[in-house]
Amino acid sequence: MTPYLLASSLTEPVGVRHFLVVGAFLFICGVVCMATKRNALGILMGIELVLNGANLNFIAFGSPYLRQASESIGLDGQLMSLFVIVLAAAEAAVALAIALNFYNSFNTIDVDRADQLQG
pLDDT in tens, 6-55: 556 567 777 778 888 999 999 999 999 999 988 888 888 999 999 999 99
The pTM for the full model equals: 0.74
Domain with 73, as residue range(s), is: 38-110
Residue 20 lies in a domain: no
Cross-strand bridge partners of residue 110 = 39
Alpha carbons 77 and 88: distance in angstroms, whole number: 16
Residue 6 lies in a domain: no
How many domains is the chain built from?
Answer: 1
CA separation, residue 40 to residues 21, 96, 99, 112, 117 (Å): 28, 9, 7, 10, 15
pLDDT of residue 52: 92
What are 64-84's pLDDT values in tens digits? Answer: 776 655 555 556 778 888 899
- The sign of the torsion formed by the CA atoms of 112, 92, 19, 14 equals negative
Q: Three-class SS of residue 67?
A: coil
